[in-house]
Amino acid sequence: MKKFAAALLAVVMLFALIACGQTNNGGTNEPKNDPQTQPEPNQPAAPLADETHAAWVAHGQFLLSDGTENGWNGKDSALYEASALKAIALEDVKAIDNDLYTALSGKDVKYLYTIDLLFGTNDAGWTTNFLKDGKLYRANGSYAFKVAQCSVDVDGDNKVYAEDQWISDPHTAHAESLTPATMFMPVWQEEADENGFSWASNPVVIGGAGLYTLVIAQYNNASTPEQAGFGIGLVLKEAKDGQAYEEIVEYVPADHTYGIVGSFEGSNWEDGKDVAMTDNGDGSWTGEVELAAGDAFKVRADGAWDYSWGDPDSEDGNCHCEADGTYVITITFDGADGTVNVVAK
């Protein structure tokens, strides 16, 4: 009797355990999930960092986000470190720009980096060209940039950065613009095209002066003329006052008038009174002026300083008179290039 009771109790306890297991596991007898073995919800993806290079670094004469003036290779270690890009995950691009995230989601991304930079707010002292909507423009050099994959040699407290590869780079780093409204990427070819662009040209910011987030990706595929190996995107965070773009319009000599202006009597630089020149009908224009020794002058178009010509070999670019007299000044064009000739009468 006691054995029967014990057996009955065991059966009852077994059914109770089964029922308990069904209640705790949503009506199944599957084992419960162990939270220590399951991934955390919304756990961030790992950054797509390049393990083959110590750093990716932004180069160019723009400003860093804190206003520090950047530079090309050869800058000091502190500037290299300040202009080093940060590795991010693809999901992080959503917070930067959703369209850029969509563009990158369609790529096989291997490495992914970003940095905030100020373009076009300072004067680099040189210019670079770009194309936008089929038109040729000239921009200040503070709109140009490149990124370099760098190695770093550590010698005590000193770090020596070396550029292993530039992006873009001949033969090895064909990059595409992921944001063509804000960034011009030149053609990836050795011979310059009709506008002078080749793979030696720099990418150029064409979205205007401002603070931008730069995002650059390396793809798993190799760079070829038909397929880019890198993608670059620029997202404007804050527009700023800065250097203006200048459209480059083909110069047609016959569409303009010409005059002689200078320090000689009857003109003078400040008043800007031009001595009119006559069209000779053969691509040249001629005028006659009285000059004194020491007078300086130039030929200019349309009574303005948009286009002017003088002596390219003089320090100030002006033509200079050595003796008093009457002079015949002729400007002759070969295409858009004008040459000034001075003959004593």
| Same domain membership, residue 155 and residue 98 | yes
Question: Between 195 and 20, whose confidence is greater?
Answer: 195
At residue 158, the pLDDT reads: 82
| Same domain membership, residue 306 and residue 226 | no
- Of 213, 247, 281, which residue sits at a domain end? 247
Question: Between 232 and 3, whose confidence is greater?
Answer: 232
| Same domain membership, residue 229 and residue 313 | no
At residue 87, the pLDDT reads: 98
Across the range 310-314, mean pLDDT stands at 91
* 168 cis-preceded (ω within 30 degrees of 0): yes
* Domain-embedded: residue 191: yes
| Same domain membership, residue 185 and residue 323 | no
Highest mean pLDDT among 26-35, 51-60, 153-162: 51-60
CATH number at residue 289: 2.60.40.3620
What residues contact 237, with CB distance under 8 A and at least 6 apart? 116, 210, 211, 212, 213
> Residue 231 sits in which domain range?
55-247
On the 0-12 / 13-18 / 19+ scale of CB atoms within 10 A, 134 is exposed
Across the range 31-51, mean pLDDT stands at 66
* Domain-embedded: residue 43: no
Express each pLDDT in 178-189 by its tens digit.
999 999 999 888
* Domain-embedded: residue 2: no
| Same domain membership, residue 263 and residue 239 | no
At residue 42, the pLDDT reads: 66
Whether residue 147 has pLDDT greater than 70: yes
- CA distance linking residue 231 with residue 216, whole number of Å: 6
Whether residue 334 has pLDDT greater than 80: yes
Express each pLDDT in 50-100 by its tens digit.
999 999 999 999 999 999 999 998 899 999 999 999 999 999 999 999 999
- Residue 56 near residue 86 (C-beta atoms within 8 A): no
| Same domain membership, residue 178 and residue 318 | no
* Domain-embedded: residue 10: no
| Same domain membership, residue 261 and residue 223 | no
**Domain total of the chain:** 2
| Same domain membership, residue 275 and residue 224 | no
Q: DSSP label at 271?
A: T
| Same domain membership, residue 317 and residue 198 | no
- Of 247, 278, 306, which residue sits at a domain end? 247
The alpha helices in 125-250, defined as continuous H runs, are none
Long-range CB pairs of 221-229, under 8 A, 24+ apart, other chains included: 221/108, 223/171, 223/172, 223/173, 223/174, 223/188, 224/174, 225/174, 225/188, 225/189, 227/174, 228/174, 228/175, 228/176, 228/188, 229/172, 229/173, 229/174, 229/175
Whether residue 29 has pLDDT greater than 50: no
* Domain-embedded: residue 44: no
Across the range 9-19, mean pLDDT stands at 45
* Domain-embedded: residue 299: yes
Whether residue 149 has pLDDT greater than 80: yes
| Same domain membership, residue 284 and residue 237 | no
At residue 8, the pLDDT reads: 44
| Same domain membership, residue 141 and residue 74 | yes
- CA distance linking residue 27 with residue 213, whole number of Å: 51
- CA distance linking residue 197 with residue 76, whole number of Å: 30
CB atoms near residue 130 (< 10 Å): 25
| Same domain membership, residue 195 and residue 167 | yes
Counting residues of the chain whose pLDDT is more than 90, the rounded percentage is 69
CA nearest neighbour of 136 among 242, 249, 251, 252: 249
CA nearest neighbour of 107 among 236, 228, 244, 264: 228
* Domain-embedded: residue 35: no
- Of 231, 247, 263, which residue sits at a domain end? 247
* Domain-embedded: residue 48: no
* 312 beta partners: none
